[in-house]
Amino acid sequence: MEVAGIVAGLCLLVLLSTYLGRGFGGLVLAGGGGLITWAAYGAPSQAWFGGVGGAYALLVILFSLPPVRRAVVTSIVFRVMKGVLPRLGETERTALEAGTVWWDGEIFSGSPNWKVLFDFSVKPLSAEERAFLDGPVVELCEKLDLPQIEAEGDLSPETWDFIKEKGFFGMIIPKEHGGLGFSAAAHSAIVAKVSSRSITAAVTVMVPNSLGPAELLLHYGTDEQKKHYLPRLAKGQEIPCFALTGPEAGSDAAATQSVGIVCKGEYEGEEVLGMRLTWRKRYITLGPVATVIGLAFRLKDPDRLLGGETDLGITCALIPSHLDGIDIGARHDPMGVPFHNGPNSGRDVFVPLEFIIGGQPMAGQGWRMLMECLAVGRSISLPALSIGGIQLAARVVGAYATVREQFDTPIGRFEGIEEPLARIGGMAYLTTAAGTMTAGAVDAGEKPAVASAIVKCYLTEAMRACINDAMDIRAGAAICRGPRNMLARAYAAAPIGITVEGANILTRSMIIYGQGAIRCHPFVQEQMIAVTEDDLPRFDRAFFGHVNFVFTNMARAAIRALTSSRTVATMGRGPVRRQLQHLSRLSSAFVLISDFAMATLGGKLKRMEKLSGRMADALAWLYLASAAVKRFHDEGAPSRDEPFVTWSCVHARYQVQEALRGILDNLPNRPAAWLLSWVCFPLGAHFRPVDDRLGAKVARALLEDREERLHLTSAIYIPSASEPGLGKLEHALDAAVEALAVESRIRDAVREGRIDKAPGEALVELALAAGVITDADRDKLRAADEARAEIIRVDSFDRDEYRERAASRPSGRLGAQLG
């Protein structure tokens, strides 16, 4: 009877806390109900039953009446939490409050509302944007002479003029200021297409439209600044760069030693109140050719000429690059990819205070400006460049593995090739989905700070992995540079995207979860603000709401784990519905483990970067899988895409599971880890990596389904059939497909004994003589063989050509200058 009472009480506890509990009063109701049930069925005496009832009454009074609870309980907890929770400095608080919370907030709820995601509409490209993508963008790609760019270390003057004339530098600038006024989706599509042709051109185009002067002016500039600069930036009359990173301040940009001193000085013949600036910056893209520098520096007013603090903080200003004291023009050599990037410095450069973006009232507001704008640019530029690279890899290997033969068999038929093919195909689907969804959020007015960090970090990593896989498939042809090599430039560029706009090591280990756990969680930020502002009532509401959230989520996570996610009520049909159930279950587990990690480690968690990095992995893969299922839903759930959306979800949920297991294996509080393991994985860790059958479906679709291959790689530029590299590869694939039926008839004839087996051309002649094929069929076979021979050729150079190529590389020219 006693055991039955305990079981009944626990069941009532779970049910009430899950479905009836509201605030901590709900938890008390559930707990009290459980105790009374146990006492009624299993208590040894009526006195014991009365004692339990009395204790329950006291708990109800204590926890259900906020004034009593705050005086007796919350005040004690408040003092303890002051010592546990990390106090927010102004810089940290600004960074945490920047941007908006979007789908990442649903993931942190522990029970994502999939209807919200599916009802969210990604804005399609307008007719004008589509015309630009199919017109000037294609024309730009056609103009790009890749050997010339490498030889000269720059785009041609004609290409620069074309980029300026067509408004590529003004994509984000509204039409009223002379720009194109394009959406984030169009910006992303343009960068993806150009990057599939030339990384140099893509970086040149994307940087003025990312974090930089135009973005900052649009949000914070004075009317006078907007009228002066925005039309000139849109037309390319001004070339911008943004100088943030310095030798002493890389990832920790707020630690900059670039300074401005408020003082009086002479500018253009007049004495004005201004700033005397000194700085050293490096890794500044477009810096060597910039005419205007967006400069981040710490502004100080030692003489209190502005009447306030002596240290005003990080400030952003626009500085003409021709002023005396500025040293600019030198170039770095980023992996031999010849986009303009280099250091610049200034010493005692005097400018008026009006050069501050937003004017004097925005002095000291630069950090907030940068944090708020970073989320938008980081959502688009590098993710789009990565999508271009991944889709290029998919297009190349899908064709090459069909055309290239070994042992009389297309190499794509070998399982060793099939495995990386599946990874490339799956990632092409998944990363495009993530980029599209995130750009759509920006177009909807979001500034998705956490989501932007996810897509920047994980899409650039995916590009590196896919390019590596594609290099392996292309083998020797991939490591010999020259016009026929379609992957070498992307391979060289991959580490650049991983390093810039927040190095991925830092982004993963500190930013994604560090910002997400505080900003996206329904209660954590409220508690931290309440502690910082010494607001006891606010803390009381947030803390006990959080306690109730933890117990509710614990029950939810346990039930979902024990039932293999089948108790999750969700939308959708077929395989996608099942994936949504699993993702919801993993969301519950992720949030529960996150809450326990924060509770047991407090402020130490942000210094335990291995744990926070695994937390970031779990959050990121939940977000990426969400994007995949949304893409499948938005495109009408086509059956041809089922292998790709399933691959995306299976791969993602395994990554989430392994990240969570890694946290539990290394959580310092071992009892908490054991409890969480039992709750989140009571039956063990059953999610597995993508299996061979699913991988084979994805690879075969990439090889055999022409429409699917075109669909997966629709964002990239395809050169003419006469151009070495991708152009001739596409032509060879078409020729090979044309010859497939003829080759099949010849194989059937050999198998049936109508003709003898013979090598190459001899077999063709036997088939022709026996009437198995016609003269036209023989021509198809010869055309396919010639095209195949061309695409497996590898570039080679005589001694003089090789020396000329070596000397023309950026590193070669630099060596000659230094030597």
| Catalytic residue numbers, as ranges | 501
DSSP H helical segments within 481-608, as ranges? 488-499, 504-506, 512-519, 524-532, 536-562, 574-601
345: left (phi over 0), alpha (psi -120 to 50) or beta: beta
Residues 6+ apart with CB under 8 A from 157: none
Sign of CA dihedral 719, 724, 730, 731: positive
Q: Which two tokens stand for residue 728?
A: 């001739």
**Amino acid residing at 674:** W
703 contacts 398 by C-beta, under 8 angstroms = yes
Question: DSSP class of residue 99?
Answer: S
| Cβ-based burial of 143 (10 A; exposed 0-12, middle 13-18, buried ≥19) | middle
CA angle at residue 722 from 719 to 723, to 5 degrees?
A: 55
Local structure of 23: helix, strand or coil: helix
Helix (H), strand (E) at residue 441: helix 415-443
Helix axes 184-197, 415-443, angle to 10 degrees: 150
Please state whether beta strands 341-352 and 270-285 pair in parallel, antiparallel, or not at all (unpaired).
antiparallel
The SS3 of residue 314 is strand
Which phi and psi angles does 190 have, rounded to 5°? -65, -45
CA distances from 405 to 55, 241, 409 (A): 80, 48, 5
CA distance 562 to 543: 29
In Å, what is the CA distance from 193 to each residue of 206, 236, 383, 410, 719? Answer: 12, 21, 12, 29, 12
Q: What does residue 778 show for φ and ψ, rounded to 5 degrees?
A: -60, -40
Question: Cα angle at 143 between 142 and 145, to 5 degrees?
Answer: 100
Q: Structure tokens of 3?
A: 């055991």
Comparing C-alpha atoms, which of 768, 763, 755, 754 is closest to residue 785? 763
* Residues near 744 by beta carbon (within 8 Å), at least 6 away in sequence: none
The alpha-carbon radius of gyration of the chain (Å, integer) is 31
Residue found under tokens 């497996």: 792
